[in-house]
Structure 1
Amino acid sequence: MIERIETGIAPSSAPISDAVRAGRHLWLVAIAEDPESGKIVAGGIEAQARRCIQNLEIALHAAGGTLRNLVMVQIFLVDSADAAGMNAVYREYFTEQPFPVRATVVVKELLARGLRIEITATAVLD
């Protein structure tokens, strides 16, 4: 059975779910949108990466998990020069082994204007 996890972090303008759970598996997507204002956060890659990870935490918490439940993270950046700033923020949140498996991809652009990063992730819940 597939269950939609509603958290308020997905853009309301898009026909997407915040997170979807099937059994113990959870699939998530996060952008650097402030859930209260609905606006993309300002402040460069560090601020956007932080907001993305915080949004992942919100969705994981709503499903009964934490960042420790992540097994796979895929990061999409619009500029390879942002990798260092993104990695610095990533290290703030992922400090214990085993780290999630991760892929980082540079893309031409992301759909939302001003967006520098988007993260998709897969978690296994207890």
Structure 2
Amino acid sequence: MIERIETGIAPSSAPINDAVRAGKHVWLVAIAEDPETGDIVDGGIEVQTRRCIENLEIAVKAAGGTLANLVMVQIFLVDSTDAPGMNAVYREFFTAQPFPVRATVVVKELLAKGLRIEMTATAVLD
């Protein structure tokens, strides 16, 4: 059975969820969106990466976990030159082993205007 996790981040008008659970597994998605306004945050890749990870943190917390429960993170960047800035912020949040498995992909564009990064993650909760 799939359970929707209410995080307060995903727009209610869109046919999407930003977190769902099936058993012990939780699937999450985050963009650099201010959860209070729904707007894409202004700033470079560092600002957008921080907001993405903070949104992942909000979502996994709503499911009953923490970032330490993440086992896989997928990152989508629109510009490969953003990788160093993204990595610097990523290291601030993921500081101890075991780190989540991670894949980083460069894409032509993301759906929201001004969006430089999007993340998906999988968490395992007890």
Alignment TM-score, normalising by the size of structure 2: 0.97
The total of aligned residue pairs comes to 126
Q: In structure 2, what is the equivalent of residue 36 of structure 1?
A: 36
How much has 1:125 moved relative to structure 2? Answer: 0.5
User: What is the one-letter code of the residue matched to 1:19?
Assistant: A
Moved more, 14-23 or 79-88: 14-23
Tell me which residue corresponds to 2:116. Answer: 116
Contact preservation (8 Å) 1:72, 1:123? yes
Deviations 1:41-67 (A, max 9, x none): 011100000000000000011000000
String of CA shifts for 1:55-104, please: whole Å, max 9, x gaps: 00000110000000000000000000000000000000000001000000
Paired with 1:31 and 1:69, the residues of 2 have a C-alpha distance of 19
Counterpart residue number, 1:54:
54
CA offset at residue 13 of structure 1?
4.5
CA RMSD of aligned residues (A): 0.8
Q: Which amino acid aligns with 1:97?
A: Q
- Percent identity over the alignment is 86
Distance 1:118 1:18 in 2: 12
Which segments of structure 1 move beyond 2 Å, counting only runs of 4 or more? 11-14
TM-score, scaled relative to structure 1 = 0.97
Gaps of at least 5 residues in structure 1 are none
Output the CA distance in 1 between the equivalents of 2:17 and 2:112: 16
Q: Tell me which amino acid in the other structure corresponds to 2:82.
A: D
The whole-number CA distance in structure 2 between the counterparts of 1:42 and 1:81 is 18
